[in-house]
Structures are given as structure tokens and as C-alpha cells.
Chains A and B, each alone.
Chain A
Amino acid sequence: MYLKLVPENTNYRFMWLRKFSFPLSMAIAVASIALFFTVGLNYGIDFKGGTVIEMKTNESPADIAAIRAGLGELNLGDIQVQQFGGPDEVLVRIQQQEGGELAQQAAVENVRSAFADSVEFRRVEVVGPRVSGELAQAGTLAVVTALVVILFYIWFRFEWQFAVGAIVTTINDIIVTVGLFVVLQLDFSLSSIAAILTIIGYSLNDTVVVYDRIRENLRRYKKLALPELIDRSINEMLSRTLMTSVTTLLALIALYTFGGEVIRSFTLAMIFGIVIGTYSSIFLAAPMLIFLNLRPGGPEKAKEEDDGAKATA
């Protein structure tokens, strides 16, 4: 009588799919890494230094060509001008100026005085070369340390295989999300880091929940072969996993659609991350346990002894 995303008592053979899901995940991750090193991220000013100016022109729609020409006269090197939000809203990116902090400030001053009469400056952000390097370093350090401590916590609470599985899965999610940033050339800024952190958080939560059920079933079905046991666990949790993902996605899609231009790329990354996080906890985190030999012993042997366990279940 209630809305159900999956029927009761499903029995999908997820572990059989690992033959495809493992290589597929690996291929996507490798492709992401390759893209990261060849095409590269579209770093925002937070990590690259430079200036971002958001302006609202007095006339609507904005004359982007004229703005570009006006900026061109100022000799600021590489500039990008694009429409951003409404028809009279324009985003201008100016590359890091050579000659350090002072040159950077001078460039902004020039832009301000050149456009003072024709536009309203809604946002001006200038990041100098020194700060941008530090921001990147601090962000990376925080993420890496968090991962290491989580590794130990899960090791302490579960078994080492779970810990390794969770971390590998999380790193995969990070890599693939970074891949998305490369493919779509989304602006990679400090708030992208926040988006990635959210994805890590969600993916970990999902993975731990699935692992928790696997651990419970490991105690309950002492003789069941690991692939079947994992399949059973995932099927039991399938309804929950999809319910949670769909609900979170609903909230995120609302933010993406109505939340305004500033958070759009940010929410897009999170939507992608939720999908990846859900996929990876089923198709990556769980089969990793088989790969890491969580319960040694061949399936044939286990099947024979399993009949008794099945009867009691």
C-alpha cells in the first residue's frame, strides 16, 4: 500500500556482476586519473590565484563583446567573460597577474575604474599566489588525514578488510568525482572541496551501513559462502539504500534547480556523488571483501555445510 522502490525479498546476484563492475569501476577510475593528468582540472582562483568579478550591467542583456573588448584594453593577460545567471549578469575571470600581490591589486583597481559607470560590482574575489598554494595544501592534508583516521576506526570496529574496502571505495569516489569535474570543466574551488567532502561523508555512511549488515550476517550464517552472504546482505538493505539515496537526491535536485547560480556546480557534484556513493558501496565496497579474502575457503565446501544454516535462518 505504500510506495516501494524495490519489491520485498529481492534476490539479485550482485556479486556475480562484480566480474563486470570491478573492471568497469577500474576503467572509469583510470580514465579519470588520465584525464586529470592530461586535460586537467579547471582550477578556480582559490587554487590558481587570480581574480573573479561578478558584475551586473546597467543595460539588459549585457553586451559581453563590449565588456571583453574593454577588458582587453587593460592588458590583463588571459580573461574569460561569460553570462552567469540572469541576462544582465556577467562573470569575469582574470588570470593571476605577474608581479605578485601588488600587480594583482593594481589590475583589479584598473577594472573597477574602467567599468565604474556601466556596471554594478556584485562580487570581487582576488586570491594571491601565496594563499592559493596554501589553500590547496591545507585542503589536501585535511582530507588525507581524515581518511587515515577513518581507516583505523573501521579497522578497530570491524576487520581490516572492511577498513581497506571502505577506504579504497572512498578514494575511488573521490577520483571519479574529480573526473567529473575534469569532464565537465566545472570550476574547481574551495566549495568543490566541500562538495567532495560531502560525497566522502555520504559514501562512507552508505558503505558502513552495508558493511554493518554483512558483519551481522557473517555471525548469523557461519557457513555461507562469502559471495552469497554479501548478496543476501545487499538485497536485505536494498530498499533502505535506495530510499535514502532517492530522498537525499530529492533535496539536492531542489537545491540544484532553485538554489541559484552560485551553488549550481556545487550541487551538481553532490548529486553525482550520491549516485556514485550508492553504486560504489554495492558494487565496489562489498565485492572488495571477497577480493581481500575476508572469509577463506572455497564456495563448494561452504555450500555443503550450509544447508543446516539455511534451515535455521
Chain B
Amino acid sequence: MFSLPVLLYLSALLFSIGIYGVLARRNILVVLMSLELMLNAVNIALVGFGRVHALSTTSGEHSGQIFTLMVLAVAAAEAAIGLSLLLLIWRKWKTIDLRELCRLSG
């Protein structure tokens, strides 16, 4: 088996790539996808920690995996809401450019 730090570094790397996507891109679709990417990076860390934690318990513990399942549920809800907001924005203003939504700030 590979070691835990390797997994955590992988998770941190994916998370930073997601941060780059959120900050640098102007396409709302890609920003939403980068958010999913970041959630997935966290999932890797959670499953890795849970796998190591299972070693120290007698019957195998699943807290890490249950956390991950909840993150999955949140991600699904987030995707649904985010994409419907995107559709609304597209219908009203015919744009998926974040920069053109500056007027939302009033």
C-alpha cells in the first residue's frame, strides 16, 4: 500500500488546481466544475484518513467514508442549484461570463 502523505499531497495538489480554476476562469461553467474538483480533492483526503483510522479499530470504522458520502450529497445539491442559477443568468443576460455580472454588486 502507498503511504498516507502521498495521498494528502495528491489531495492538496488537486485542491490547488481547483483554486486556480475558480480564480482564473471567467466561464461560470468551468468555475462550477473547479468547485467539484475541489470537493473531490477533499474526498480523497477523507477516504485516506478513514482507511488509516480503520486500522486502529477492531471492527473497521467507516466515519471517513460516511463523511465522503455527505460531501457527495452536498456536491450533488450544489451542482443542481449552481446550474439552475447559471441557466437563469443565461436566460436573462445571454452570457456565461462572470465579469459581465459585475452589475450584481449594484
**Chains A and B bind each other:** no
Query: A residues engaging B (CB < 8 A)?
Result: none
